[in-house]
Amino acid sequence: MKYKERYKQWLENPFFDDETRKELIKIENNENEIEDRFYKDLEFGTAGLRGIIGSGSNRMNKYTVGKATQGLANFIKKEKAEDKGVAIAYDSRNMSKEFSEQTALCLNANGIKCYIFESLRPVPELSYAVRKLGCVAGIMITASHNPAKYNGYKVYWEDGAQITAPKDKLIIEEVNKISDYNQIQMISKEEAIKIGLYNIIGKEIDDEYINEIKKQLQNANIIKEEKNLSIVYTPLHGTGNIPVQRILKEIGFENVNIVKEQELPDGNFSTVSYPNPEDKNAFQLALKLAKEKNAEIVLATDPDADRLGVYVKDRKTEEYKAFTGNMSALLIAEYILSQKAKKGTLAKNGVIIKSIVSSTMAKPIANEYNLKLIEVLTGFKYIGEKIKEFEISNEYKYEFGYEESYGCLVGTHARDKDAIVAVMLLCEAAAYYKKQGLTLWDQMIKMYEKYGFYKEEAISITLEGIEGAQKIQDIMRKLRKNPPKKFGNYIVEKIRDYELAKIIDVKTREEEITNLPISNVLYYELKDDAWICIRPSGTEPKIKYYIGVKGNSFEDAEQKLQMITKSIIKEKYN
């Protein structure tokens, strides 16, 4: 069906409500807007849905959410898992609460029990609740760190991780079978409650989740000695506010300063244009407060509280240093691994798991503590999948997992990135090193001196709409047709093409298999531990370039990074 026909159908079909029609009438003279809203159905991908809120088949609205939920319900019924139930949580975004309730009632209409949180909760708590309650699945209504106009729908399976193969493809098939919105089943909330299918959850799960996090503390006694560590925290109007304040208070920190302007939920994110802790602009208010309070550590979590951004004060310059996601994750890793090694609690068959686009500093850290290092594709669900695999096989014991995208997981209480436990451990580490006369910045420098000056950069190029999607595919085709031989002064030694599942030695032409799922990703291994990875984003209209180098100093690493970055632009690989 062509986009104009779809637009007309949504205007004329009595199934769509008046509010939807009024919104669509307003764009009747805007051909580009009509095309963008209706040129396709909002795709239910391997992570679920994510899109701009609004009317249309290519937008997040109650009809597209209903279609996704009906497809998921049909799959759950095929699995005969209705009685296990589904846990549902939502963040602070516009329409999140409405979408979560609609999701629950659609599942209820299909005879599937639901456990829905009484108010907004973070992603890692939803992941925890799925396993705690013995659910077959979980749904999180969130668009993570995207701008305010977006919302999304993440699907988790019974292991607490986002859906992976083969379940993801099977669920997508069921969603795509819903060809008519009239197939979406619904029930009233009153009826669902009456028959025991709509269940509210809250405090009990909160308490159990927080207690699980506390089990990861390494030196609780030191926190009492350094309870006045000056901390500034902003939830960026999201779900991290209550659990972060609670955990820091309960473990003993007494000097926690909240950015009041960003404390309360706000789906419009009125104080920040992009609620992403990777973006330095998101820290403007937090850094202002940090200077007033002379804070030693400045923290921000994204709206669904799976990502953590960090600034740390350098007492030598009195400046606040920004930590990348790689830096904060690896600092946490070094802290917990060193403490466990000291206490003799580090597993002899321990493993660190990282995504292929994350810092390779993990290699020498793993070697230092005699741990296995495993790489997976981008997406924390693949780390969650490995945790489950190792729990069954006992081949390895999970010690730490991280992604460069500002997310890590300590413990196995959740199977997704957990910014709440990351906040707790980063603050504990700050207290521990402070007692030794070190700031977190001092400790990071010690790690560079010990392991090498690793430096990474991620470049995202936004290409929206039909033309943008085509441009992204053209870039990937061009790279495969004419493989780059070098980037700056770095000769390409090996090419990993994850779409072909091949690793090709450029010099010998020998090939080996990647042993990872098929994915549209290209990875270039360069000399001296340098690398480049290029992939289309799975959740946003972007193509992403990841670059990593190892230098002999900060300056050397920066020069190498800039040289490779300039070559990418010069050679028009973007």
Q: What is the DSSP string of 391-420?
A: HHH-S-EEEEEEETTTEEE-SSS-SS--HH
Report the pLDDT value the prediction gives residue 571, as an integer from 0 to 100: 65
pLDDT attached to residue 295: 98
Q: What is the pLDDT of residue 570?
A: 73
144 is an active site residue: yes
Q: Is the pLDDT of residue 572 over 60?
A: no
The segment(s) of the chain belonging to CATH 3.40.120.10 are: 40-201, 206-450
Q: In CATH terms, is domain 206-450 a member of 3.40.50.10190?
A: no
Model confidence at 536, pLDDT cuts 50, 70, 90, reads very high
Considering the entire predicted model, what is its pTM?
Answer: 0.95
pLDDT, mean of residues 122-148: 97
* Residue 26: exposure state from Cβ atoms within 10 A (0-12, 13-18, ≥19): exposed
Taking only the tens place, the pLDDT of each residue in 489-527 is 999 999 999 999 999 999 999 999 999 999 999 999 999
Q: Which of 527, 532, 522 is nearest to 565 (CA)?
A: 532
Q: Mean pLDDT, to the nearest integer, of 291-318? A: 97
3-state helix vs strand vs coil in the chain, percent to 5: 40, 20, 35
Q: How confident is the model at residue 266 (pLDDT cuts 50, 70, 90)?
A: very high
Domain with CATH 3.30.310.50 in the chain: 453-570
- Residues of 456-481 as b/e, b for ≥16 C-beta within 10 angstroms? bbbeeeebeeeeeeebbeebbeebee
What whole-number distance in Å separates Cα of residue 425 and Cα of residue 421?
Answer: 6
* pLDDT tops 70 at residue 154: yes
* Per-residue confidence band for 574, with pLDDT thresholds at 50, 70 and 90: very low
Q: How many CB atoms lie within 10 A of CB 369?
A: 18
Angle (nearest 5°) at CA 382 between 340 and 67: 135
The CATH number given to 453-570 is 3.30.310.50
- The position carrying tokens 């340098």 is 530
Query: Are the C-beta atoms of residues 44 and 172 closer than 8 Å to each other?
Result: yes
25 Cα distance to chain centroid: 36
Average pLDDT over all residues of the chain? 96
Strands 319-323 and 150-157, how do they pair?
unpaired
Q: Would you say residue 118 has pLDDT above 90?
A: yes
The per-residue pLDDT for 538 is 75
For the chain, percent of residues with pLDDT exceeding 90: 93
Question: Which residues neighbour 75 within 8 Å (Cβ) at sequence distance 6 or greater?
Answer: 170, 171, 174
229-263 pLDDT, tens digit each:
999 999 999 999 999 999 999 999 999 999 999 99
Strand segments, DSSP code E, in 405-509 are: 407-409, 453-462, 486-487, 490-497, 502-505
Residue of 92, 96, 100, 144 marked active site: 144
Q: What is the pLDDT of residues 175-215, one digit of tens each?
A: 999 999 999 999 999 999 999 999 999 999 999 999 999 99
Q: Please report the pLDDT score of residue 216 as a whole number.
A: 98
Instruction: Report strand pairing: 86-90 vs 150-157.
Output: unpaired
Contact status, residue 561 vs residue 457, Cβ threshold 8 Å: yes
- Of how many residues is the chain composed? 574
- What's the pLDDT tens digit per position in 28-76? 999 999 999 999 999 998 779 999 999 999 999 999 999 999 999 999 9
Overall average pLDDT of the 75-86 stretch: 97
Select from 1.10.1470.10, 3.40.50.880, 3.20.20.60, 3.40.120.10 the CATH code of 40-201.
3.40.120.10
Q: Tell me the C-alpha to C-alpha distance, in Å, between residue 147 and each of 270, 427, 487.
A: 11, 28, 33
